[in-house]
Amino acid sequence: MKNERSISAFTRARAVIAGGVNSPVRAFKAVGGSPIFFKSGSGAYLRDLNDREYLDFVLSWGPLIVGHAHPAVVKAIASAAQRGSSFGAPTEAESELAEIIVGMMPSIERIRFVSSGTEATMSAIRLARGFTRRPKIVKFAGCYHGHADPFLIAAGSGALTAGVPSSPGVTEGTARDTVVVPFNDADAVARAFDAHPDAIAAVVVEPYAGNMGLVPPRPGYLAQLRAACDRHGALLVFDEAMTGFRVARGGAQALADVRPDLTTLGKAIGGGLPVGAFGGRADVMAYLAPDGPVYQAGTLSGNPLAMAAGIATLKLVRDDATLYERLGVLTQLLTDGLEAVFEKHGIAHQTARAGSMFGVFFAPEPVHDLTGAMRADTKLFAAFFHAMLDRGIYLAPSQFETGFVSSAHTTADIERTLAAADAALAEARTVGPQSNQPPSPR
Ligand SMILES: *Cc1c(COP(=O)(O)O)cnc(C)c1O
């Protein structure tokens, strides 16, 4: 069997690791089958335990914008490791990465580094609550902000009812302070502010929703959020953990020309090592300890290896004047090509692209929110996913995830992918696996 080593590796993992994985989406629950275990990556390609090669459109869920094991990144990490892996004291590398980020994202006047996107969003809302002295946050159905309790809330029956925890272990008390409204509906946000006067500390949004598939904002929507926050004295928090340095050089805030009060980052800023960050207005960030009263800390925050990987990656991004243009052209080639293939096979589809991010829904109607995303055909996607995997193309193992292209991908890679999609669909339409799963956090 072609995946026999991955299958036995998964059996081994399941005996000692909860569910066999350290993040749920890796287990392939949404597409069925057994996850592939990888042993190496180089450029746009991954190699599994059976020495099969795959063209990678997951890229560690976004961080690897310059591909796997880029020589400059490897060199930076190795040389940092030689100088010592952690000091628990400040290093100049932290200021260097901060300067690069602040230079590319001007709304960030002060920043703080943490070790994951989850920590970034969790810390940002504590800060927003401390700064505004208000208890509640608004989030959008289908947006993912990591796995901290206040974000693991799904909408109740009505958009304005108090949230209901979407995971056991999240208390009703926590859920009450999270107001969930539909994405891309400015009126729903206005109603949330009216229903909770002077109680909303922040509106937290993925400016391009990337965790229910890829759902771009409607034109003007992000500016409407900005105006609503200004009207009601709440902070606007853009969670750019995924979109930061992905949709454009300055992130989604540059594309939309909207200045959030706080921004959270992750993924690409660590170049494949564990880094997150939050930052924004200097007066708000001044509320953080040690200058201010809001506590936030981390033993390994600003870790020298992670800073080195981030600096090397973002320098490659910053200093390559045509990078975003090239990534955009490649990604567009992919989405245009996929549309042509889907049309040829008579399959209802919606594709989306933002910079080097792309998404496909097997759905007949345009998707603007979670309700629309959930209408997508998950059975067809599961069949398509496995047929692509058989042809050496590694897509995210769920339709409700975003795909990524790196600077290591080539036109030939995209053409190979489109040919594989054509053959895969011919096959996928005749078979049909399992499962109808809601978006699953990684
Ligand atoms: C990935 C992601 C997170 C969480 O980051 P982790 O590093 O997985 O904790 C938060 N917000 C968004 C928008 C993300 O895409």
Round to whole Å and give the CA distance between 181 and 159: 5
Round to whole Å and give the CA distance between 401 and 394: 13
Q: Which domains are assigned to the chain? A: 4-69+321-428 (3.90.1150.10), 71-319 (3.40.640.10)
Phi, psi of 109 (to 5 degrees): -90, -35
Q: Which ranges in 233-377 belong to alpha helices (H)?
A: 251-256, 282-285, 304-318, 323-344, 370-373
* Residue 267 annotated among the catalytic residues of the structure: yes
Query: 403-404 and 357-361: which strand pairing?
Result: antiparallel
Distance of CA 52 to the CA centre of its chain: 27
Round to whole Å and give the CA distance between 347 and 381: 11
In the block, tokens 């953080």 appear at 288
Give the bridge partners for 43, in sequence order: 68
Round to whole Å and give the CA distance between 296 and 289: 7
Mean pLDDT (the chain) is 94
Handedness of CA 367, 373, 374, 377 (dihedral sign): positive
Round to whole Å and give the CA distance between 84 and 308: 12
Which residue's alpha carbon is nearest to atom 6 within ligand 1? 117
Query: 276-280 and 262-265: which strand pairing?
Result: antiparallel
pTM: 0.95
Q: How far is ligand 1, taken at its centre, from the CA of residue 146, in Å?
A: 5
Round to whole Å and give the CA distance between 242 and 278: 13
Ligand 1 atom closest to the CA of 121, numbered from 1: 10
The reported pLDDT for the residue numbered 374 is 92
Read off the DSSP letter of residue 60.
Answer: G
Is pLDDT at 207 greater than 70 in this prediction? yes
Going by pLDDT thresholds of 50, 70 and 90, the confidence category of residue 165 is: confident
- Whether the CB-CB separation of 182 and 369 falls below 8 Å is answered with yes
Going by pLDDT thresholds of 50, 70 and 90, the confidence category of residue 155 is: very low
For the chain, the maximum distance between any two Cα atoms, rounded to a whole number of angstroms, is 63
106 burial level (CB within 10 Å; 0-12, 13-18, 19+): exposed
Give the bridge partners for 106, in sequence order: none
Read off the DSSP letter of residue 213.
Answer: S
Angle between helices 71-82 and 304-318 (to 10 degrees): 150
**Residue range 311-322: mean pLDDT, rounded:** 97
**Residue among 139, 267, 324, 413 flagged as catalytic:** 267
Is pLDDT at 435 greater than 60 in this prediction? no
Question: SS3 for 102-124, per residue?
Answer: HHHCCCCCEEEEECCHHHHHHHH
- Whether the CB-CB separation of 166 and 145 falls below 8 Å is answered with no
Is pLDDT at 22 greater than 70 in this prediction? yes
Is pLDDT at 161 greater than 50 in this prediction? no
**Residue range 120-148: mean pLDDT, rounded:** 96
Is pLDDT at 440 greater than 60 in this prediction? no
Mutate to test the pocket of ligand 1, among 60, 121, 147, 152 (most ligand atoms within 8 A of CB): 121
The reported pLDDT for the residue numbered 438 is 47
* Residue 208 annotated among the catalytic residues of the structure: no
Round to whole Å and give the CA distance between 133 and 202: 11
Going by pLDDT thresholds of 50, 70 and 90, the confidence category of residue 163 is: low
Which residues are CB-contacts of 267 (< 8 A; sequence separation ≥ 6)? 60, 61, 62, 63, 117, 241, 242, 244, 246
Q: Which ranges in 83-161 belong to alpha helices (H)?
A: 92-104, 117-132
E strand or H helix that includes residue 230: helix 221-232
* Residue 324 annotated among the catalytic residues of the structure: no
The CB density around residue 423, as the number of other CB atoms within 10 Å, is 14
Ligand 1 atom closest to the CA of 147, numbered from 1: 9
Instruction: Look at 348 and 2; give whichever has higher pLDDT.
Output: 348
Which residues are CB-contacts of 307 (< 8 A; sequence separation ≥ 6)? 80, 91, 93, 94, 96, 97, 113, 275
Best CA proximity match to 266, nearest among 210, 310, 212: 310
pLDDT tens, position by position, 56-102: 999 999 999 999 999 999 999 999 999 999 999 999 999 999 999 99
The reported pLDDT for the residue numbered 2 is 80
Is pLDDT at 184 greater than 90 in this prediction? yes
Round to whole Å and give the CA distance between 400 and 210: 8
In the block, tokens 């999240």 appear at 170
The reported pLDDT for the residue numbered 434 is 42
Is pLDDT at 168 greater than 50 in this prediction? yes
Going by pLDDT thresholds of 50, 70 and 90, the confidence category of residue 33 is: very high
The reported pLDDT for the residue numbered 164 is 64
Round to whole Å and give the CA distance between 261 and 284: 8
pLDDT tens, position by position, 212-244: 999 999 999 999 999 999 999 999 999 999 999
The amino acid sitting at 3 is N
The reported pLDDT for the residue numbered 341 is 98
pLDDT tens, position by position, 241-296: 999 999 999 999 999 999 999 999 999 999 999 999 999 999 999 999 999 999 99
- The binding-site residues of ligand 1, defined as CB within 6 angstroms of any ligand atom, are 116-118, 121, 144-146, 206, 210-211, 239, 241-242, 266-267, 276
Q: How far is ligand 1, taken at its centre, from the CA of residue 278, in Å?
A: 12
**Residue range 105-120: mean pLDDT, rounded:** 98
The reported pLDDT for the residue numbered 1 is 65
**Picking from 144-158, 288-302, 331-345, 418-432, which range would have the lowest pLDDT averaged per residue?**
144-158
Q: How far is ligand 1, taken at its centre, from the CA of residue 211, in Å?
A: 9
Distance of CA 185 to the CA centre of its chain: 21
Q: How far is CA 121 from CA 90, 116, 137, 285, in A?
A: 23, 9, 12, 14
**Residue among 239, 369, 377, 413 flagged as catalytic:** 239
pLDDT tens, position by position, 350-409: 999 999 999 999 999 999 999 999 999 999 999 999 999 999 999 999 999 999 999 999
